[in-house]
Amino acid sequence: MNAKSHASPNGSPTALYQRIRGDLERKILSGDWPPGHRVPFEHELMQSYDCSRMTVNKVLSGLATAGLIERRRRAGSFVSRPRVQSAILQIPDLKAEVEKRGEHYGYRLLALEKRGASAADKARIGVALRAPVLALRCRHEAEGQPFALEDRLINLRAVPEAMQQDFSQTPPNTWLVGQVPWTEAEHRIAAEAADEATAAELRIEPGAACLTIERRTWRGGEPITAVRLIHPGHMYDLVARFTPSA
Amino acid sequence: MNAKSHASPNGSPTALYQRIRGDLERKILSGDWPPGHRVPFEHELMQSYDCSRMTVNKVLSGLATAGLIERRRRAGSFVSRPRVQSAILQIPDLKAEVEKRGEHYGYRLLALEKRGASAADKARIGVALRAPVLALRCRHEAEGQPFALEDRLINLRAVPEAMQQDFSQTPPNTWLVGQVPWTEAEHRIAAEAADEATAAELRIEPGAACLTIERRTWRGGEPITAVRLIHPGHMYDLVARFTPSA
DNA sequence: TGATCTAATATGTATAGACAAATAATCGTC
DNA sequence: GACGATTATTTGTCTATACATATTAGATCA
């Protein structure tokens, strides 16, 4: 028996694997199979679809790593309990984002300093006291209007190349993305009132609501960078979308 | 030759698949293999690890669906270009979250109305004009202190059971999670100043910075619910974490 | 030179069979 | 009925093989 004999009956060229996966996903996501429902055993599925166990196994393990089902030996596979409420949060590259909307992107370096890490720096980025760090503060603009303040700390032990970079031209944001690989990241999102300095630099009223995003990244436990982005709350929305089934 | 002969040399019981995957992931995430680098061919890996092609194929396809590599027939597999900056945003179940911290959770239903969808409702949740919706507003408290205002619209055509539910006891939040499966969600995060009513209900100063999260969910294109959560900005942080390698 | 055809190659999908490991169910014993 | 050992079932992993399919590099030809 050869693989071709399993092309779907209607002649569509979809792989059998995809077809089974789609069928099961639909049953689960439609609520047809509620959480806790037992998915057919592998040997039942191989009969239904007239295929080998490897094929249905691949489908079921895939669904398991995607979190749609849970599998227990001897017991079977079960539709997972209520989905965790999670979403993919896209942290945009500001320059690319602005230009994608056809607006003119502007950038201004406000301050740059190489220094030994202070106690505050240490708390923020997690390097040793007096370890070399690069601190910079800059402003992003769209059509001449400030829309984000970036306050960044870079661990120079992890990213020594940062010293060679001319940050008066390239935003650190844009440079670091794609330059330095990371393995872990943490984000913290909060709303705060703008203080005097921030308000002046963003050209908004002191006390106005701002959306702040703090982001820290590591590579194998070593801190890379910590950044704090302050957006005027009214002009910036973060949109996160989630659709199951990669 | 049997499967057992591939137990890792040091006697660890890890599956060969896991070991290969770990090895390759480390190479990629450490930056050892930079973006664009060609991963060894399947036949090369099967020689290195002395295993069958199916095994390395499973590893490589896994890495591909995880987005770490890209595969091209005849050309080979390549480490992906700079990772998209995305993160898993955990939208917590408020009640569970508060109780997890050992604090007393309180809840108060402020308003509940069944009505035909207004134009505003239509814009917000996407149902037809005058379609039946359930609108409710409630407050979440931790240790007696308000920390979130929930303003929700439920599409009664999609979730008729909502009418039977006693929302003066159970937060809609908690009830909907795990009750109604969904396939798509959209989140919008912004900072806003509290208006008079909001400030009174949250017991904060009018104009204080608030973190608002809007969330809309669908099931197969049909709107389920739209919710707006308003948090006093100072007391609520959202933490999102990302670690590659499911 | 440039376009086109051809063969080689790497991945994509699938099969059938094998043994390992975990665990639910059963049976036997006290 | 409670407890413990045994058995059966299901998933987890792996092998060796096969053919399909996309794509590239090289050969061929206009």
Q: Is the pLDDT at A169 greater than 90, yes or no?
A: no
pLDDT in tens, B116-144: 999 999 999 999 999 999 999 999 988 88
Identify the pLDDT of residue A92: 62
Q: Alpha-carbon distance A200 to A206, whole Å?
A: 8
Question: A60: Cβ under 7 Å from strand D?
Answer: yes
pLDDT in tens, A126-147: 999 999 999 999 999 888 888 8
Q: Of B24, B50, B79, at which residue does a domain stop? A: B79
A75 and A119 share one domain: no
| ∠ Cα B199 A189 B244 (to 5°) | 150
Interval A3-18 mean pLDDT? 56
B20 and B53 share one domain: yes
* Residue B95 forms part of a structural domain: yes
* Residue A134 forms part of a structural domain: yes
* Residue B119 forms part of a structural domain: yes
The alpha carbon of residue B35 is apart from the nearest alpha carbon of chain A, in Å, by 9
Interval A174-199 mean pLDDT? 80
Domains held by chain A: number: 2
* Residue A68 forms part of a structural domain: yes
CB distance A189–B211 less than 8 Å?
yes
* Residue A146 forms part of a structural domain: yes
Identify the pLDDT of residue B245: 36
CB distance B190–A241 less than 8 Å?
no
With 0-12 / 13-18 / 19 or more C-beta atoms within 10 angstroms meaning exposed / middle / buried, residue B187 is buried
* Residue B235 forms part of a structural domain: yes
Q: Of A36, A53, A79, at which residue does a domain stop? A: A79
* Residue A246 forms part of a structural domain: no
**B217 alpha carbon, distance to own chain's centre:** 12
- Low pLDDT (below 70) residues in chain B: 1-13, 81-92, 177-179, 181, 183, 234-246
Other residues' Cβ atoms within 10 Å of the Cβ of residue A242: 20
B211 and B92 share one domain: yes
Q: Alpha-carbon distance B137 to B143, whole Å?
A: 20
With 0-12 / 13-18 / 19 or more C-beta atoms within 10 angstroms meaning exposed / middle / buried, residue B235 is middle
* Closest B-chain CA to A209: B209
- Residue A29, both tokens: 């996501």
pLDDT in tens, B89-108: 556 677 877 787 788 989 99
The alpha carbon of residue B164 is apart from the nearest alpha carbon of chain A, in Å, by 19
Contacts of A193 in chain B (CB under 8 A): 208-209, 233
| Residue range(s) defining the domain that contains residue B193 | 88-241
Confidence of residue A149 (pLDDT cuts 50, 70, 90): very high
D25 C1': nearest CA residue:
B74
Identify the pLDDT of residue A6: 44
A93 and A74 share one domain: no
CB distance B89–A87 less than 8 Å?
yes
Q: Alpha-carbon distance A227 to A220, whole Å?
A: 18
B75 and B99 share one domain: no
CATH code of the domain containing B165: 3.40.1410.10
CATH code of the domain containing B45: 1.10.10.10
Q: Is the pLDDT at A102 greater than 90, yes or no?
A: no
Nearest to B86 among A84, A90, A180 (CB): A90
The alpha carbon of residue A182 is apart from the nearest alpha carbon of chain B, in Å, by 7
Nearest to A237 among B189, B210, B240 (CB): B189
Query: Cβ(B23)–Cβ(B49) under 8 Å?
Result: no
B22 and B67 share one domain: yes
Label residue A24 left, alpha or beta by phi (over 0 means left) and psi (-120 to 50 means alpha). Answer: alpha
B34 and B117 share one domain: no
Contacts of B33 in chain A (CB under 8 A): none
Non-local (6+) Cβ contacts of A186 within 8 A are: A215, A216, A217, B239, B240, B241
Rg, Å, chain B Cα set: 25
Q: Is the pLDDT at A245 greater than 50, yes or no?
A: no
Contacts of B191 in chain A (CB under 8 A): 191-192, 209-212, 231, 233
CB distance B29–A208 less than 8 Å?
no
Nearest to A190 among B30, B85, B211 (CB): B211
A214 and A155 share one domain: yes
Identify the pLDDT of residue A91: 60
B67 and B111 share one domain: no
Query: Cβ(B19)–Cβ(B27) under 8 Å?
Result: no
A8 and A130 share one domain: no
Confidence of residue A8 (pLDDT cuts 50, 70, 90): very low
Lowest mean pLDDT across A205-209, A231-235, B3-7: B3-7
Q: Of A36, A52, A79, at which residue does a domain stop? A: A79
Identify the pLDDT of residue A12: 47
More confident residue, B242 or A179: A179
A17 and A130 share one domain: no
**Chain D nucleotides with an atom closer than 7 Å to a protein C-beta:** 8-24
B132 and B97 share one domain: yes
Q: Is the pLDDT at A200 greater than 60, yes or no?
A: yes
Contacts of A160 in chain B (CB under 8 A): none
* Residue A101 forms part of a structural domain: yes
**What mean pLDDT is reported for chain A?**
83
Lowest mean pLDDT across A13-17, A208-212, A213-217, B156-160: A13-17
Confidence of residue A20 (pLDDT cuts 50, 70, 90): very high
Sign of the CA dihedral A162, A165, A168, A174? Answer: negative
